Each structure stands twice: as C-alpha cells, then as structure tokens.
Amino acid sequence: MIPFSILDLCPIVRGASPADAFRNSLQLAQLGEKLGFNRFWLAEHHNMPGIASAATSVVIAHVAAGTSHIRIGAGGIMLPNHAPLAIAEQFGTLESLHPGRIDLGLGRAPGSDISTARALRRGMGLNGDDFPDQVAELRHYFDEVKPGQNIRAVPGAGLNIPLWILGSSLFGAQFAAANGLPFAFAAHFAPTFLIQALDTYRRNFMPSAQLDKPYAMLTVNVLVADTDEEARYWFSSQQQAFTNLHRGTPGQLPPPIDDIESYWTPSEKLGVERMLACSYIGSADRVATGLENLINDLQPDELMITGHIHDQSVRLRSYEAVMEIHRTLSDLMK
C-alpha cells in the first residue's frame, strides 16, 4: 500500500487568529505522526486572510520542533518569490536542526495575486520564465562547495535535502521528468490536466542522482465523517471558501451551512465543482471506495490528503478515519 501524507495550509477559521491556526496545525502534525502519515507539508500563500502559512519555512520550523520523526516540508515554496540563496540557507538551517526530515517542494506560481507578487518580488519578472534557472541555482547551493566558489549557502552546502517539483499543468510534469525529480500534482484544486501530466512525467522521466525512477504524488481533498450527509455539511466550508475566491473576496474559513445551493450561483457552482473534482467526501465506506479506485486507476506512488474543515475536532477525526481507511486498503491489497 502506498504512503499517505498531509498537506496543510494553516487555515484561519472565521473569528480566529493566525496563532490559533498554528496551534491547530501543530496538533494535526502531531496526530499525523502518531497515526503513521509519511510527511506533513505546508504551502506558501500570501495576502490570504484565511491562510497563515505565508512565512512557510518559519512554520515548518515550528511544526518540526513539535514532532520527532514525520517528514516536514514545503508544498511548496514559490521559488520566483525568493532569492535561491535565501531558500538554500533557510532549508539548510531546517535540515541542520532536523536532519533527515526536511522536504523542499518548489512551485513557480506566485501563491498570490499580481499586486502581492509585485510587492514580494520588487520588480522581478512575474511570469515564472526564470524558474528553471532558479532551480538550477538552488541545486548548486546544495552541492558540495567547489574550489574557488565565492558564494555558498551556510548552512545548506553539501546537505541532502530532497527537492520536489509541484505542478497543476504539464510544465511541472515536463520539468520534473527532465530533471529527474519527484513530482507532486495539485489535484486538490486544479485536476484538469491530472491524467495527462502523470503520463507526461512517467514517459519522459530521466534518472538523476536524487531519483532513479519516477515518483508521483497526488494531492486530493478528503473529508470523512460518520455519514455522507454530515461530511457534505462540513465540506460546505471549503465550497464557500472557493466560491469566495471566485468572487474576489477571500476571507477566513467560514462555518459550514446546511444548504450550499443557496450560497452560490449556477456558474459559481460549476467553477468550484471543477476545481474540487478530486474530492472524496462522505462516510468511511464511500471514501474508501473512492480512494481505492483512484489508486487502482492512476497508480500514484503516494497520496497527500488535504481539506479545509472549520471545526478542529472534526478535522482531527477525519484524518484518523483516513488512516483507518489506509489500513483497510492495505489489507485488501496484500
């Protein structure tokens, strides 16, 4: 059975604070470690009132310090927002503090709107065309220092920090394949090119010093509750949040509502349901069937679970149920 992992955005629920979100994320990571999840990733977003993980490497340090063995990483760092040397130093520091536990997933999207991207990048190009050069520069800083090398990452140089390429289109799949890197596809919000991207990555993969064969991880939304109706009720928070994004009014994660149909228009519903098409919502039996079919059909090497759930206790119980499903599927696939 493939490993299951967690992607967390440090959601800020309505009426709460970023400090509350950080406490909740650490609690989730500690539970994930206890349950046997493989890794716990945090994602970089900026100027988003409902997401607290903007300073991603700082939050990774917080979560890593509160856990002992689960892998902690970025899913991901939006590299065009940063100088590669600064990221090498940050993740070199994390790896030095928590050896053998740090992952560095890289994306080329801004993780924000255009105005915020300009504020972050201070006049740098906004289209991500320099992403391949930035990745090459970052990898250089993680190499052993060469004679005559004037600029080095301290810490960072010579450390074995696994790099991942994140993607929601064919670019990431092609780039990960050409550079022999593991590939994580964001099916949780952009599933359109999922099958094509996996095929592109696997067919074109070139072995590297880091990886000798393709390794593809899929991120999907999962919410497990006692009944299908209860799960759909809690999922309405995420549906509202994505509707608000469509409206250009992002905010803190709203509480669930009984009738989502009264919240969105038909066109908004169509757009949100397209984005959230890779969502497995319902009772344990329903979700187990969905995940089993997904794994059998697409053969991912790892599955990463995410979801925006307003109530922390419901959130934790959902992840507990996910690992019960993992154990069930493991027994079936022996």
3-state secondary structure of 84: helix
DSSP string for residues in 121-143: HTT--SS-TTHHHHHHHHHHHHS
Same domain, 278 and 203: no
- Tens digit of pLDDT for each residue in 20-70? 999 999 999 999 999 999 999 999 999 999 999 999 999 999 999 999 999
Q: How many CA atoms within 13 Å lie on the side-chain side of 247?
A: 14
What local confidence, expressed as pLDDT, does residue 109 receive?
Answer: 80
Same domain, 57 and 178: yes
What local confidence, expressed as pLDDT, does residue 332 receive?
Answer: 84
CA-to-CA dists, residue 305 to 59, 81, 221, 256, 280, angstroms = 19, 26, 6, 20, 10
Least confident of 79-88, 122-131, 201-210: 122-131
Same domain, 304 and 228: no
Asked if the model's pLDDT at residue 122 lies above 60, the reply is no
Same domain, 179 and 295: no
Q: pLDDT band at 114, cuts 50/70/90?
A: confident
- Tens digit of pLDDT for each residue in 213-241? 999 999 999 999 999 999 999 999 999 99
Same domain, 76 and 153: yes
What local confidence, expressed as pLDDT, does residue 115 receive?
Answer: 79
Same domain, 267 and 308: no
Rounded to the nearest angstrom, the gap between the alpha carbon of residue 299 and the centroid of all alpha carbons in its chain is 19
Range of the domain at 237: 221-299+321-334
- Tens digit of pLDDT for each residue in 12-30? 999 999 999 999 999 999 9
Asked if the model's pLDDT at residue 311 lies above 90, the reply is yes
Looking at the structure of the chain, the number of domains it has is 2
> What percent of the chain has pLDDT above 90?
91
What local confidence, expressed as pLDDT, does residue 127 receive?
Answer: 61
Q: pLDDT band at 125, cuts 50/70/90?
A: low
Mean pLDDT, rounded, for 284-293: 98
Same domain, 236 and 261: yes
CATH number of the structural domain spanning residue 79:
3.20.20.30
Whole-prediction pTM: 0.95
What local confidence, expressed as pLDDT, does residue 65 receive?
Answer: 98
Same domain, 186 and 232: no
CA-to-CA dists, residue 320 to 23, 135, 236, 333, angstroms = 18, 36, 20, 20
Same domain, 179 and 272: no
Same domain, 188 and 281: no
> What percent of the chain has pLDDT above 70?
97
Same domain, 188 and 233: no
Same domain, 306 and 169: yes
Q: Do 7 and 15 touch, CB atoms closer than 8 A?
A: no
